């Protein structure tokens, strides 16, 4: 039956789903493909923001700053905000939780209460004041003795403004300085009271608010997101029995076995002190010098030189508690546990050449990706699993569970899924939340306890200690993002930046003047598990700690050939940057204990003769671990299809407009984020249909920022893009980084001009390059979506690259 109902336009939808660039036209699209609360709010926010900005085209009172008119300051220009979303930091501010609040933003308020609503401030409709609440008559000019006279020292408004500005930075973290974060919740699948009395696992369906911070380790606060590095994966649970911080990484093991060496490994990996280089990189002499003299690092080196160290997204990486912890139930019974986070989007990575180029194109790549996914309603999800084992089991392992350079293969101790975490709201303010959040391994709750892992024992002190310097003293727990939801009652007083105003005169215990309050909880409170301890005072390690290579070999043999190839390349790249030949030789000698083929390939790549094998600290035979498929990134492909995949559609004058819109809509319908990419912003005429509006230029959006590319039909566009080196480079990088490509009709000519083959190195068809005539569009798009869901076609990789 015929209908006159028009399909809502999705022109420009990709720009609303992004946070960089946009069409020249300020008109918002009518649809983002999907129709739900999130997309409607996003469209509403975009339109309201444009309208609010447009309402103040000029400052009509700017001329009042000069001459005699400046002697009588006038009220600053302002307009009514109208729609609350217009001034919101995020469309998710209406997402409610016990920590973030009831989801109803209070405009013009700065109240204080238990949720973060009490810390939020909004200036809508309010006059400008000093920090003491004094209305400011003129915020454009300092107080002078005459219009051309000297500035007066009595100008307290100027002095307050400059003084605050001069002190707006706090010391950055020594490690994990570069971070991004989000709010969300953890939902328990099933009550776990047999294992632990910890509040988040008390009953099925229980939701606990969380704040999660992802980070790199070695770089400074302004460094790049995509450096080869370990990633922090820290989760703050706001439980009803206090805050629990699960401060982990995206790698389940660590560089060292004892906290005594932590300053050394960090000093070694940081920029070399004589010239402050390199930033956010381990590819230099001091790190590899330390590594080559510390064989315990070998297992961790295998992980860091793998693709685990360059994740595609924070949404696509695992998280681990690293250490062995204890779970304690209400009866006081205990088992050992390791914590595992698994992303629902699967475990996916960048390739090294791509990661390097992304650093130049968008150093905020991971931060932007996390922000955009949450803003668009594609909430990252992770499943939490316990890996539970008894002390008797631990004694039977060929390694020591207190050794943080060791893991327990999932095939030996299976994972028990216990709940999922959903990140559904971006922070309102980066500094107040992401920068000021304080994670400490010492923050545990009843039901969780420590083991004697010597690295963990040192972290219990170190993390609290560093917050004292960063956040100005012992009251960092009163900063809103750090404050627990559980009520706080104790006799701690005073200190820098104290916020609480305590009633009464009692700050000690026992007391009678306050009726004995606050009083200790007894068995209902936190009580450390009474693990027995015996032995002499000694500085050293248990004998099992001396075996450094068995699990490094396990990791190597568990990788696919593609992943092994990348590990070899990573070692070769890093050690090629090292200037001291003896250091290179020691690393190769060390790796001979892991795998002779690995060591030989690395020696060949460095132009070295194979050195003698490095002596081992333990003369016992290496444990013979069978391969563990779960250690490969390919083991967890994910369940999200093409959701959030960034797809570039190259357009130019003469593109087939109807075809472009059809592909755009088909991708959008399945959750991808398409964008029209051209030589520059503006409208381009098409060979059929209305003009297209370029959403991002080739120079602002190079190929490394997209997961795939579409080259539509249109001889004119192909001719124009074929004379644009940026377009040809775009296609070459998409090919080199093994990304899916859809090419329609005349688009094949552009592929040919870029020198991109449609066959694999062995001559077989490339399964991720779909070339089709315009008449087979539906079939071609379906094949492209399948390739896009698989992320990459590593079968086309060569060393060196052929394109």
Residues annotated as part of the active site: 176, 249
Which residue shows structure tokens 């089709």?
772
Which residue shows structure tokens 């972290």?
459
Bin 125: left if φ > 0, else alpha if -120 < ψ < 50, else beta. left
Rounding to the nearest 10 degrees, give the CA dihedral for residues 366, 371, 377, 378.
Answer: 10
Q: How far apart are CA 354 and CA 504, in angstroms?
A: 62
Q: Sign of the C-alpha dihedral, residues 638, 641, 643, 649?
A: positive
Task: Look at the chain and count its residues.
Answer: 803
Which residue shows structure tokens 């770089």?
219
Angle formed at CA 219 by CA 703 and CA 292, multiple of 5 degrees: 105
Q: How far apart are CA 707 and CA 738, in angstroms?
A: 9
Cβ-based burial of 524 (10 A; exposed 0-12, middle 13-18, buried ≥19): exposed
Q: How far apart are CA 745 and CA 751, in angstroms?
A: 11
DSSP 453: -
Angle formed at CA 101 by CA 97 and CA 106, multiple of 5 degrees: 150
Q: How far apart are CA 743 and CA 709, in angstroms?
A: 8
Q: Which residues pair with 272 in a beta bridge?
A: 277
Q: Provide the pairing of β-strand 242-249 with 231-239.
A: antiparallel
The three-class DSSP label of residue 706 is coil
SS3 track for 649-698? EECCCCECHHHHHHHHHHHHHCCCEEEEEECCCEEECECCCCCEEECEEC
Angle formed at CA 422 by CA 420 and CA 428, multiple of 5 degrees: 150
The three-class DSSP label of residue 537 is coil
Q: How far apart are CA 17 and CA 641, in angstroms?
A: 18
Phi then psi for residue 738, to 5 deg, are: 65, 35
Report residue 645 as tokens: 């995949």
Half-sphere exposure of 626 (CA within 13 A, CB side): 5
Distances in Å between the Cα of 729 and the Cα atoms of 20, 53, 371, 441, 742 are: 21, 37, 28, 46, 16
Q: How far apart are CA 191 and CA 261, in angstroms?
A: 39
Q: How far apart are the first and last CA of the chain?
A: 51
Bond into 545 cis (ω within 30): no
Q: How far apart are CA 409 and CA 411, in angstroms?
A: 5
b/e code 532-548 from CB counts within 10 Å (16+ = b)? eeeeeeeeebeebbbbb
Per-residue DSSP letters for 767-796?
TTEEEE-GGGHHHHHHHHHHHHHT---GGG
Q: How far apart are CA 219 and CA 270, in angstroms?
A: 8
Angle formed at CA 17 by CA 12 and CA 22, multiple of 5 degrees: 45
Phi then psi for residue 184, to 5 deg, are: 180, -155
Say if residues 451 and 325 touch (Cβ distance below 8 Å): yes
Helices assigned H by DSSP within 400-485 = 454-470
């Amino acid at each position: 039956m015929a209908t006159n109902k028009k399909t809502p336009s999705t022109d420009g939808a990709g720009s609303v789903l992004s946070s960089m660039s946009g069409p020249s036209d300020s008109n918002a699209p009518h649809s983002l493909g999907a129709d739900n609360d999130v997309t409607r709010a996003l469209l509403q926010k975009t339109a309201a923001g444009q309208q609010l900005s447009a309402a103040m085209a000029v400052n009509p009172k700017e001329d009042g700053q000069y001459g005699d008119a400046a002697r009588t300051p006038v009220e600053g220009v302002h307009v009514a905000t109208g729609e609350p979303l217009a001034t919101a930091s995020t469309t998710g501010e209406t997402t409610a939780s016990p920590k973030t609040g009831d989801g109803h933003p209070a405009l013009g308020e700065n109240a204080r209460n238990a949720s973060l609503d009490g810390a939020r401030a909004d200036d809508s409709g309010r006059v400008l004041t000093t920090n003491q609440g004094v209305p400011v008559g003129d915020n454009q000019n300092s107080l002078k003795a005459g219009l051309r006279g000297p500035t007066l020292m009595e100008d307290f408004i100027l002095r307050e403004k400059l003084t605050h500005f001069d002190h707006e930075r706090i010391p950055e973290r020594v490690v994990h300085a570069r971070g991004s974060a989000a709010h969300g919740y953890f939902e328990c699948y099933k009550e776990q009271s047999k294992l632990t009395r910890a509040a988040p696992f008390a009953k099925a369906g229980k939701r606990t608010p969380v704040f999660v911070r992802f980070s790199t380790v070695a770089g400074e606060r302004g460094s790049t997101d995509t450096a080869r590095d370990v990633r922090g994966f820290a989760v703050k649970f706001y439980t009803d029995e206090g805050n629990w911080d699960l401060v982990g990484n995206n790698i389940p093991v660590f560089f060292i076995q004892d906290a005594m060496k932590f300053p050394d490994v960090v000093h070694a990996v940081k920029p070399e002190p004589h010239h402050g280089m390199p930033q956010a990189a381990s590819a230099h002499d001091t790190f590899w010098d330390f590594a080559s003299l510390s064989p315990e690092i070998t297992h961790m080196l295998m992980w860091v030189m793998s693709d685990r160290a360059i994740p595609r997204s924070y949404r696509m990486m695992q998280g681990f508690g690293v250490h062995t912890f204890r779970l304690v139930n209400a009866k006081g019974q205990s088992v050992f546990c390791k914590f595992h986070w698994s992303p629902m989007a699967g475990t996916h990575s960048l390739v090294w050449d791509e990661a390097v180029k992304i650093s130049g194109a968008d150093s905020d790549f991971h931060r932007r990706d996390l922000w955009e996914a949450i803003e668009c309603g594609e909430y990252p999800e992770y499943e939490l699993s316990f890996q539970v084992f008894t002390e008797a089991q631990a004694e039977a392992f060929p390694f020591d569970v207190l050794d943080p350079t060791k893991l327990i293969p999932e095939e030996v101790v299976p994972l028990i899924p216990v709940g999922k975490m959903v990140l559904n709201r971006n922070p309102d303010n980066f500094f107040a939340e992401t920068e000021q959040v304080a994670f400490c391994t010492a923050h545990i709750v009843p039901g969780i306890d420590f083991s004697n892992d010597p690295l963990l024992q040192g972290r219990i002190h170190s993390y609290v200690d560093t917050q004292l310097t960063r956040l100005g003293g012992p009251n960092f727990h009163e900063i809103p993002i750090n404050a627990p939801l559980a009520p706080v009652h104790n006799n701690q007083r005073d200190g820098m930046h104290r916020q609480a105003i305590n009633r009464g005169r009692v700050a000690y215990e026992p007391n009678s003047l306050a009726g004995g309050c606050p009083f200790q909880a007894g068995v209902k409170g936190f009580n450390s598990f009474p693990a027995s301890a015996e032995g002499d005072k000694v500085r050293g390690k248990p004998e099992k700690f001396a075996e450094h290579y068995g699990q490094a070999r396990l990791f190597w043999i568990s990788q696919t050939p593609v992943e092994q190839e990348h590990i070899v390349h990573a070692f070769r790249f890093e050690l090629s940057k090292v200037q001291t030949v003896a250091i290179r030789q020691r690393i190769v000698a060390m790796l001979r204990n892991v795998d002779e083929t690995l060591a030989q390939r690395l020696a060949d790549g460095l132009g070295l003769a194979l050195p003698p094998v490095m002596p081992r600290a333990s003369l016992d035979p290496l444990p013979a671990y069978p391969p563990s498929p779960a250690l490969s990134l390919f083991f967890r492909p994910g369940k999200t299809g093409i959701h959030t995949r960034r797809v570039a559609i190259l357009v130019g004058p003469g593109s087939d407009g109807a075809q472009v819109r059809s592909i755009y809509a088909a991708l959008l319908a399945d959750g991808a984020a398409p964008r029209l990419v051209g030589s520059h912003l503006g409208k381009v005429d098409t060979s059929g249909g209305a003009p297209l509006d370029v959403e991002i230029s080739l120079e602002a959006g190079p190929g490394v920022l997209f997961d795939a590319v579409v080259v539509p039909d249109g001889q004119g566009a192909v001719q124009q893009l074929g004379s644009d080196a940026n377009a040809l480079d775009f296609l070459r990088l998409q090919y080199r980084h093994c990304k899916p490509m859809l090419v329609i009709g005349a688009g094949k000519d552009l592929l040919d001009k870029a020198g991109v083959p449609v066959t694999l190195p062995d001559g077989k068809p490339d399964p991720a390059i779909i070339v089709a005539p315009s008449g087979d569009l539906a079939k071609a798009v379906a094949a492209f979506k399948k390739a896009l869901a698989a992320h990459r076609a590593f079968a086309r990789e060569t060393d060196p690259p052929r394109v």
